[in-house]
């Protein structure tokens, strides 16, 4: 019997925008039993363009995951292919529509061997927690994070900098090919958890707050609480969409061993 079971869910809020340009999904793999995927994309590019770009990321991820088999492919190769194919289709769609849509991407895949793989492009984030303890997160492909890496900004300065929404890596760019940052964690166990979220959510919380919240709540309760709190902290200025996906590993219920010979006979 598995040492953990997976609880997962998603949540979204429009914020103060007229259109929801984020997309999120949770998927199983038909040809890879025991594998699961969470994917989140934040589209940009004006009315309908951003939503189209984000939709293309999620659609591409699902199509490739439907075709994935560990007997013939590697998870990291699939993640790279998702980004590459989504980028190409978004770029071509932009040419056809005479627009320049972009999207971020963050994808998580869990395997039955107890390994987590993830990939991201842009500033949609993945957080990993051990119980309530923050373990790591993806580093945004943004101007301010580049300045932090160079020692020119502190993390506190970067968070509220006026250029904090300037990205240096996106899917769909006409000028540059995107790069994909991969991550991996082995030895998954009950108590581990992952949070995927757009910048419309993570901007309002510390790493420690997110860890405590995910440890104490199931998917529905977590999404309702975080979105409500984000809107409160925005104080009426929450202009961006707010989207998240939670994947939490919990102790499975005890196996029922109450069957008796008489009960089995009646069942037969």
- All domains in the chain, ordered by first residue: 5-267 (3.60.40.10)
The whole-angstrom separation of Cα 257 and Cα 106 is 41
Is the pLDDT assigned to residue 265 strictly greater than 60?
Answer: no
- Supply the DSSP string of 187-245, one letter for each residue: ---TTEEEEEE-HHHHTT--HHHHHHHHHH--HHHHHHHHHHHHHHHHTT---S-EEEE
92-150 pLDDT, tens per residue? 987 776 578 999 999 999 999 999 999 999 999 999 999 999 999 999 999 999 998 99
The pLDDT score that the predictor gives to residue 185 is 98
Q: What confidence category does residue 36 fall into, taking pLDDT thresholds of 50, 70 and 90? A: very high
Residue 238 scores a pLDDT above 70: no
Task: Give the pLDDT mean for 146-172.
Answer: 86
Global pTM value: 0.91
The phi and psi torsions of 5 (rounded to 5 degrees) equal: -120, 160
Q: Is the pLDDT of residue 152 over 80?
A: yes
Q: Which of 125, 128, 113 is nearest to 215 (CA)?
A: 128
Residue 28 confidence (pLDDT) above 80: yes
pLDDT band, residue 268 (cuts 50/70/90): very low
Q: What is the pLDDT of residue 155?
A: 81
> What is the mean predicted confidence (pLDDT) over 214-228?
93
Residue 79: predicted pLDDT:
98
pLDDT of residue 223: 93
| pLDDT above 50 for 78 | yes
Confidence band for 163, pLDDT divided at 50, 70 and 90? confident
- List the beta bridge partners of residue 125: 197
pLDDT at 259: 53
Looking at residue 97, its pLDDT comes to 66
CA separation for the pair 240, 13 (Å, rounded) = 9
- Residue 260 has what pLDDT? 55
pLDDT of residue 239: 65
Higher-confidence position of 155 and 233: 233
Q: What is the mean pLDDT of the chain?
A: 90
Angle between helices 219-234 and 207-216 (to 10 degrees): 150
């Amino acid at each position: 019997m598995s040492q953990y079971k997976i609880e997962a869910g998603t949540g979204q809020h429009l914020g103060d925008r007229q259109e929801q340009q984020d997309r999120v999904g949770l998927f199983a793999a038909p040809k890879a039993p025991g594998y699961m995927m969470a994917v989140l994309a934040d589209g940009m590019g004006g009315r309908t363009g951003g939503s189209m770009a984000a939709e293309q990321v999620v659609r591409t991820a699902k199509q490739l995951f439907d075709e994935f088999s560990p007997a013939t492919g590697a998870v990291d190769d699939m993640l790279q292919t998702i980004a590459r194919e989504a980028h190409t289709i978004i770029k071509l769609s932009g040419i056809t529509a005479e627009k320049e849509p972009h999207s971020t991407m963050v994808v998580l895949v869990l395997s039955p061997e107890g390994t987590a793989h993830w990939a991201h492009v842009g500033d949609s984030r993945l957080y990993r927690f051990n119980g309530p303890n923050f373990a790591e997160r993806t580093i945004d492909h943004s101007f301010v994070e580049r300045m932090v890496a160079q020692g020119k900004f502190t993390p506190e300065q970067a968070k509220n900098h006026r250029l904090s929404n300037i990205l240096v890596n996106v899917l769909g760019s006409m000028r540059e090919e995107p790069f994909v940052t991969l991550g991996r964690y082995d030895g998954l166990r009950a108590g581990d958890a992952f949070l995927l979220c757009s910048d419309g959510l993570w901007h309002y919380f510390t790493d420690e707050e997110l860890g405590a919240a995910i440890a104490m709540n199931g998917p529905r309760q977590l999404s309702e609480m975080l979105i409500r709190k984000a809107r409160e902290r925005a104080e009426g200025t929450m202009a961006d969409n707010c989207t998240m996906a939670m994947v939490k590993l919990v102790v499975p219920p005890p196996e029922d061993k109450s069957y008796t010979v008489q009960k089995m006979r009646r069942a037969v």
